[in-house]
């Protein structure tokens, strides 16, 4: 609804508002005599002159006290300068990303929300869907500017690690003699670019009509494309004809939200439609939009300010301006409260999606809360939820239901360029024979499985990630040390390796304990175990216990308790003997290599020479992290030079990444081995330009290769050993057996021996007591004497144990 009509409607209550009018019609009258074929630059200059003249005419001749109605930011600046000079308040509806300066324009009141918040919503969408590069499209206004929207969008995208890859700038559509051809020419440049996320910052409906129709014909509205429009277009979706809106299918729009349920809006809507249809009967849609609501709220703010003057016709402009700026009420467009000369109430935006010949609302966004599926989260609880809540509700261009990639592979006219290392130390990864032959290698095969292109191997490092994007690693990377080795079977003490030191100690302990128990059980009754020195007796017990494993002994066992102890010991010994034999056979049969050097600290402290390729990051890592002296590092750049330098002793060790070590040992496994170090890196990955959207798709493809086993097959193809001795070396090494494998047997043997001796002592006590009872007639039925006799028996048994060859120990 025109602003002037609203002013006339308020004629009766406030006669002084007759002097308040808009500038737009004055400008149009001033421009009516200008030749239509004048150059665009001349039009802008004349428009500025006419704008200034119209403003001065309204203030001096019409005696207006308030100016309201500018729709562009350049118009607003021109009129604001005139308003400052005359001290007349100026109310503007121009959308801008530039915050008005109170020092420069103290009389300016901005009735439109700052576009920066709307652009923040677009940046949030790009961030969630990981669209790193976008194309900005906008039509310059009649003064040749963009109201700071492009710079603001670039800043908002930069905050979420995205950027504007390209911008498409159109002059005012009215200045083009053949708009369709110009639009098609500009859009054709986008076919050669990867980004497919297009953001229309500002555009007239005429330009939007040509844009979407031509883009659809050229295939830019297909799958994996994204089109986002701001309020300049989405607020007018209700008045678009069917042909235009059908070409916009899949477009996502940002609209300023306003309540349609309030009584004031329902009343205004009824009056607006009645007025609009009577004045424009040819128009099909008469629904009021956000611009009409803002215009009405602007007049309402002026009305409330005049009411506060108390009917005084004599007032200063500063008082009127102060009253306008202090206005605080809920209007049709939302909260009307001014802060620093502009609306202070943060707007809520509706996210809409064009489907067919209509559109639907899919969610809401505000700068404080973020995304929300329903309005209650923003208005009441103050908590939004993720865009995931409604991302599946969006239908994207091409009737796509999944999230678009936002990029496309370049066409034949501009192919992707892939860099391949011209020299590598190990040809199994990348090998370039000539410029006319296709490279080969493990990395080439992995890349071919993802896209029809070639690339080399690069280690993922933190400092490299600042300048480029990496894919998911397709090969593990950690530091290894390549050294010479000798077979383990040549060691003098190899026969001790089947058992660990702890197991040898535990075996000796259980043997000694068993020998001691056998001696205690047999020394009194068995003539073979008594009558001589105690050392001789223990030696006999040890000989008997140990050699019972191999042959029958001449010494007879008299005690049943001894038989139980020996039986359990034989079972334990049989298990030990079998395990020892099997493990030793495995060690001697399977060829194992023992590295001559295993300690990095030893190499460093002895100033030993080491080998490394100086064109890799490992060279600096050895110097900066592992603290090797640069003079002690020998440069080795060719795979074939490693065996000679190691065998001759020119270097004590060579430092490589794990994949390179595998490649070397597959061909040179005899006499060499690798020692894994704890230093780990990011792995091998493919490299793309910073912000490239292709990197994410390559990562997804690499993960798919890992999950379906294709990557494992490629590793087998390139790194499986092709020699018999290499196959033997790859056999799993044999480890020494530890006490953990036998502690149950040892516990069983020890407990059995202890219990046998305990029962043996008790049996001996009762047997001796019976003899004392039979020979002692003077102490018959005397309980105290029985107790004393029992203690004498126990003490006597102790003396027997501590006595050697008839001589008492105490």
Tokens found for residue 501: 């030191």
pLDDT at 445 over 80: no
DSSP assignment, residue 96? B
pLDDT-derived band at 678 (thresholds 50, 70, 90) equals: confident
What is the reported pLDDT for 36?
Answer: 34
How many CA atoms within 13 Å lie on the side-chain side of 121? Answer: 30
pLDDT digits over 707-753, tens only?
Answer: 888 888 888 888 765 544 554 444 445 567 776 777 888 888 888 88
pLDDT-derived band at 490 (thresholds 50, 70, 90) equals: low
CB contact at 8 A, 96 and 148: yes
Q: Which residue has the higher pLDDT, 113 or 274?
A: 274
pLDDT at 354 over 60: yes
Mean pLDDT of 788-809: 46
CB contact at 8 A, 664 and 638: no
| Percentage of the chain modeled with pLDDT above 70 | 69
Q: Which residue has the higher pLDDT, 468 or 433?
A: 468
CB contact at 8 A, 656 and 646: no
What is the reported pLDDT for 164?
Answer: 92
pLDDT-derived band at 14 (thresholds 50, 70, 90) equals: very low
Q: Which residue has the higher pLDDT, 200 or 48?
A: 200
Mean pLDDT of 307-321: 71
Which among 29-38, 332-341, 572-581, 666-675 has the top mean pLDDT? 332-341
Instruction: For the chain, give the mean pLDDT.
Output: 75
What is the reported pLDDT for 134?
Answer: 93
- CA dist 561 and 571 (Å) reads 16
38-42, 355-359, 429-433: least confident range = 38-42
Mean pLDDT of 261-279: 89
- CA dist 523 and 321 (Å) reads 121
**253 Cα distance to chain centroid:** 28
What is the reported pLDDT for 227?
Answer: 94
Q: Which residue has the higher pLDDT, 208 or 447?
A: 208
- CA dist 773 and 768 (Å) reads 9
- CA dist 204 and 176 (Å) reads 13
pLDDT-derived band at 251 (thresholds 50, 70, 90) equals: very high
pLDDT at 799 over 70: no
pLDDT at 19 over 70: no
What is the reported pLDDT for 55?
Answer: 63
What is the reported pLDDT for 140?
Answer: 86
Q: Name the residue among 80, 74, 70, 65 with its Cα closest to residue 15.
A: 65
What is the reported pLDDT for 102?
Answer: 61
Mean pLDDT of 389-413: 76
pLDDT at 440 over 50: yes
232-246, 369-383, 634-648: least confident range = 369-383
Q: Could you give the angle at which helices 743-775 and 560-589 cross, rounded to 10 degrees?
A: 160
**681 Cα distance to chain centroid:** 17
pLDDT digits over 541-561, tens only?
Answer: 666 666 665 554 555 666 778
Which among 244-258, 392-406, 545-559 has the top mean pLDDT? 244-258
Q: Name the residue among 185, 120, 113 with its Cα closest to residue 152.
A: 120
C-alpha torsion 25→27→30→36, nearest 10: -100
Mean pLDDT of 71-84: 79
Mean pLDDT of 425-429: 69
pLDDT-derived band at 444 (thresholds 50, 70, 90) equals: confident
What is the reported pLDDT for 197?
Answer: 93
Query: How far is the first Cα of the chain from the last one, in angstroms, to the nearest whole number?
Result: 125
Mean pLDDT of 143-161: 83
What is the reported pLDDT for 738?
Answer: 74
pLDDT at 12 over 70: no
What is the reported pLDDT for 15?
Answer: 33
Integer angstrom CA distances of residue 710 from 431, 441, 445, 476, 477 = 21, 15, 10, 16, 19
Mean pLDDT of 446-470: 71
Three-state DSSP at 481 gives strand
What is the reported pLDDT for 610?
Answer: 92
Q: Is 600 exposed, middle or buried (0-12, 13-18, 19+ CB in 10 A)?
A: buried
pLDDT digits over 379-392, tens only?
Answer: 554 455 556 656 77
pLDDT digits over 579-619, tens only?
Answer: 878 877 777 665 555 667 778 888 988 899 999 988 888 99
Which among 90-104, 404-418, 674-688 has the top mean pLDDT? 674-688
Complete DSSP assignment for 241-258: -HHHHHHTTT-EEEEE--
pLDDT-derived band at 29 (thresholds 50, 70, 90) equals: very low
| Percentage of the chain modeled with pLDDT above 90 | 10
What is the reported pLDDT for 182?
Answer: 92
């Amino acid at each position: 609804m025109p602003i002037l009509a609203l002013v006339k409607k308020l004629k009766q209550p406030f006669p002084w508002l007759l002097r308040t009018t808009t500038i737009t019609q004055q400008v149009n009258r001033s421009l009516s005599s200008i030749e239509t074929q004048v150059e665009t630059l001349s039009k802008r200059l004349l428009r500025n002159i006419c704008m200034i003249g119209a403003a001065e005419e309204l203030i001096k001749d019409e005696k207006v006290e308030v100016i309201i109605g500018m729709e562009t930011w350049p118009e607003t600046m021109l009129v604001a300068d005139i308003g400052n000079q005359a001290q007349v308040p100026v109310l503007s509806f121009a959308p801008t990303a530039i915050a008005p300066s109170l020092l420069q324009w103290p009389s300016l009141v901005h009735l439109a929300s700052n576009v920066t918040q709307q652009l923040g919503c677009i940046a949030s969408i790009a961030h969630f869907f990981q669209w790193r590069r976008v194309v900005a499209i906008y039509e310059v206004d009649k003064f040749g500017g963009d109201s700071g929207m492009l710079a603001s969008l670039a800043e908002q995208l930069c905050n979420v690690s995205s950027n504007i890859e390209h911008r498409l700038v159109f002059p005012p559509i009215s200045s083009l003699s053949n708009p369709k051809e110009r639009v098609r020419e500009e859009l054709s440049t986008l076919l050669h670019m990867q980004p497919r996320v297009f953001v229309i910052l500002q555009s007239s409906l005429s330009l939007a009509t040509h844009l979407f129709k031509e883009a659809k014909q050229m295939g830019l509205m297909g799958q994996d494309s994204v089109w986002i429009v701001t309020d300049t277009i989405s607020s007018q979706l209700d008045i678009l004809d069917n042909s235009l809106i059908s070409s916009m299918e899949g477009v996502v729009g940002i609209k300023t939200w306003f309540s349609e349920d309030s009584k004031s809006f329902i009343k205004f809507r009824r009056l607006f439609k009645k007025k609009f249809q009577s004045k424009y009967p040819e128009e099909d849609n008469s629904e009021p939009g956000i611009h009409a609501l803002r215009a009405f709220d602007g007049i309402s703010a002026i009305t409330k300010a005049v009411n506060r003057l108390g009917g005084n016709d004599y007032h200063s402009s500063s008082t009127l301006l102060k009253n306008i700026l202090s206005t605080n009420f809920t209007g049709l467009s939302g909260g009307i409260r001014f802060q620093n000369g502009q609306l202070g109430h943060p707007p809520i935006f509706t996210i809409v999606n064009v489907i067919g010949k209509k559109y639907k609302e899919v969610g809401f966004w505000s700068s404080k809360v973020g995304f929300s599926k329903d309005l209650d989260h923003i208005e009441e609880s103050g908590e939004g939820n993720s865009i995931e809540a409604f991302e599946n509700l969006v239908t994207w261009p091409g009737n796509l239901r999944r999230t678009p990639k936002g990029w496309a592979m370049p066409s034949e006219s501009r192919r992707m360029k892939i860099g391949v290392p011209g020299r590598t130390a190990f040809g199994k990864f990348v090998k370039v024979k000539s410029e006319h032959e296709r490279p080969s290698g493990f990395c080439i095969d992995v890349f071919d499985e993802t896209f029809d292109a070639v690339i080399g191997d690069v280690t993922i490092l933190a400092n490299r990630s600042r300048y480029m994007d990496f894919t998911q690693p397709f090969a593990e990377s950690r530091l290894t040390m390549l050294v010479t080795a000798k077979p383990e079977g040549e060691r003098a003490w190899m026969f001790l390796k089947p058992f660990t030191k702890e197991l040898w100690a535990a075996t000796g302990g259980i043997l000694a304990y068993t020998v001691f128990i056998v001696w205690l059980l047999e020394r009194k009754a068995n003539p073979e175990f008594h009558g001589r020195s105690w050392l001789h007796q223990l030696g006999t017990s040890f000989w008997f216990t140990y050699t019972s494993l191999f042959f029958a002994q001449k010494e007879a066992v008299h005690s049943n308790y001894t038989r139980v102890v020996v039986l359990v010991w034989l079972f334990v010994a049989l298990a030990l003997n079998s395990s020892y034999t099997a493990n030793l056979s495995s060690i001697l049969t399977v060829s194992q290599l023992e590295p001559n050097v295993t300690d990095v600290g030893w190499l460093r402290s002895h100033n030993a020479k080491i080998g490394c390729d100086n064109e890799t990051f490992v060279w600096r890592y050895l110097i900066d992290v592992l603290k090797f002296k640069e003079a002690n590092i020998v440069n080795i750049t060719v795979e074939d030079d490693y065996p000679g330098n190691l065998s001759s002793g020119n270097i004590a060790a060579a430092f490589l990444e794990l994949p390179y070590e595998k490649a070397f040992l597959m061909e040179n496994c005899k006499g060499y081995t690798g020692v894994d170090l704890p230093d780990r890196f990011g792995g091998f990955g493919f490299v793309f330009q910073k912000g490239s959207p292709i990197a994410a798709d390559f990562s997804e493809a690499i993960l798919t290769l890992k999950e379906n086993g294709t990557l494992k097959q490629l590793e087998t193809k390139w790194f499986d050993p092709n020699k018999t001795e290499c196959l033997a070396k790859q056999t799993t090494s044999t480890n020494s057996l530890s006490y953990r494998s036998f502690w149950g047997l040892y516990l069983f043997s020890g407990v059995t021996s202890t219990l046998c001796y305990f029962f043996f002592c008790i049996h001996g006590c009762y047997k001796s007591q019976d003899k004392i009872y039979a020979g002692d007639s003077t102490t018959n039925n005397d309980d105290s004497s029985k107790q004393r006799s029992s203690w004498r028996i126990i003490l006597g048994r102790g003396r027997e144990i501590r006595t050697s060859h008839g001589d008492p120990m105490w």
